[in-house]
Amino acid sequence: MKYDLIVIGGGSGGLTSAAGAAGLGAKVALIEKHKLGGDCLNTGCVPSKALIRSAKIIGTMKDHQKYGIQKCDYEVSFSNIMDRMRAIQAKIEPHDSPERFQGLGVDVKFGKYSFKNPHELTDGKEVLVGKKIVISTGSSPVIPPIPGCKPEKCLTSDNIWNLRTLPKRFVVIGGGPIGSELAQCFARFGAKVTILDMGKTILPREDEDLRNYVIESFKKDEITMIHEMKLTHVLHGETEHVVSYTDKEGASHQIACDAILVAAGRRANIDGLELQKAGVEATPRGIGVNAYLQTSASHIYACGDVAGSYQFTHFADAQARLILRNALFPGKSKFEDRVVPWCTYTDPELSRVGLSETEAKVKNISHDVTCYDLKDLDRAVCDSQDSGKVKVVTQKGKDKILGAAIVGAHAGDILQEFVFAMNHGLGLKKISQTIHPYPTLVEAPRRAADTWLRSRLKPWMVKVLKVYFKIFFRSNQSSLSQAEIDALANEAKHKTRS
């Protein structure tokens, strides 16, 4: 059967590609070997955020006294929490159902298809022919080759959602976003959690001053964090596992636990596609694409995790939208990945877009840094969620935003104003001039912009303004001589020119 577009993979990028192309009138086939919705619905964003919400409620109840509530009795039911998660998945699932996409005019195909040649895919029973093809097969968790470790005995972000009983002793291998989010959830559910990480800290991509807010929260949740260690062996028992490691001094240690979560990276899902038959070049990191998201075979495109860049649902969606333009219409547009936001949904959340201060220093980019502490934001104070801050990196001496990061409650939501500003070339002055509702958390970007504006007010400017007010508002009280006024005016003229 012949199609204008064949999409391989029913995750975020694939669904956007298929629905968008069908909506434009193209004949489309969508191939999926498991379930539509991809990682986001089935093993990622949706189930994790459902657990995170329950964990945040528990965190609030533990802090009940700071809200004026003297007594708060509650009992955590892990099975009920997991049931809620599944109910949420079931509620969202129709958005990604085969029936919905068939209703949009997409031919949905389930099974393991592979390339027969650059334009044909087959499952051994039928052959699909596509003028253009999109590969959006996602990624899967990686379990490092640790002596004694049996992958089937470990939890990953693929299978942790099947748990029915809370592990009382929980070891998390990896301190990135996935490991950090789930570590805090399980700690609040009642598990004794230990994070083992080879690096020097959790969330290593973020600036230290922002990351420290999350670390302090983890300490409050009694999460043990062990860094700069090397895993040496894992011993699996029927009901208990023992993880052995050496610390940075070379001393050996062991931890007994009831479950091990491995959150140590992901690899592209390319096995079985037989990409070589299509002329598509790939490495274990993923399929290479150019600025137009074309693979080494120009009629085949790739997006999302399989393309080896940012592993975010919204990033795959953005790439898929550009692929529709490039694959189905004349001309080509380049993909712009300068303004890609993300958020780690710990408590507090940590979100970022663009350059961090650390990255700006490493790349020797001339910049200014402006910070605004949420303890000065009225709504954050009212909500007793005033621990955190906004941090903006701007071009040296200008209000052009190079990057912004926020740590605090609802940081992922608040960040969007900076994302919009960067995407449309707007600077901090425009944010400062925009009316924000009071009292809200979304005032934080404007307060940060105001802070930047105040930093531009140099001491010599203050001197000049004092002269201005004395002359034009309190002239009869002025104690300055004409010579002093002339000297200040000349200084202002010189500073303005320079």
Tens of pLDDT, residue by residue over 308-317, are 888 999 999 9
pLDDT at 419: 98
Residue 382: is its pLDDT beyond 70?
yes
Q: Looking at per-residue confidence, does 497 or 410 come out higher?
A: 410
pLDDT at 53: 98
pLDDT tier at 167, thresholds 50, 70, 90: very high
124 and 271, same domain (yes or no) = yes
Residue 1: is its pLDDT beyond 70?
yes
Residue 323: is its pLDDT beyond 70?
yes
pLDDT at 441: 98
281 and 271, same domain (yes or no) = yes
Residue 476: is its pLDDT beyond 60?
no
364 and 493, same domain (yes or no) = no
- Say if CB 321 and CB 161 are below 8 A apart: no
Dist CA 3 CA 430 (whole Å): 47
Residue 467: is its pLDDT beyond 80?
no
389 and 315, same domain (yes or no) = no
7 and 134, same domain (yes or no) = yes
Find the mean pLDDT for residues 231-254.
Answer: 96
Residue 374's domain comprises: 348-455
Question: What confidence tens digit (pLDDT) does each residue in 59-82 have?
Answer: 999 999 999 999 999 999 999 999
339 is a domain residue: no
Q: Looking at per-residue confidence, does 185 or 497 come out higher?
A: 185
Residue 483: is its pLDDT beyond 70?
no
70 and 24, same domain (yes or no) = yes
What is the crossing angle of helices 177-189 and 45-62, to 10°?
50
Question: What confidence tens digit (pLDDT) does each residue in 186-205 have?
Answer: 999 999 999 999 999 999 99
342 is a domain residue: no
Q: Is the peptide bond before 445 cis (omega within 30 degrees of 0)?
A: no
Give the CB-side neighbour count of residue 50, counting CA atoms within 13 A: 22
* Single residue among 455, 471, 489 that ends a domain in this structure: 455
Question: What confidence tens digit (pLDDT) does each residue in 337-377 have?
Answer: 989 999 999 999 999 999 999 999 999 999 999 999 999 99
336 is a domain residue: no
pLDDT at 463: 74
312 and 208, same domain (yes or no) = no
Q: How many separate domains does the chain show? A: 4
Residue 164: is its pLDDT beyond 60?
yes
pLDDT at 290: 96
pLDDT tier at 480, thresholds 50, 70, 90: low
Mean model confidence pLDDT for the chain:
94
Domain harbouring 285, CATH code: 3.50.50.60
146 is a domain residue: no
273 and 256, same domain (yes or no) = no
334 is a domain residue: no
316 and 363, same domain (yes or no) = no
The DSSP line for 70-123 is S-------HHHHHHHHHHHHHHHGGGG-HHHHHHTTEEEEES--EEEETTEEE-
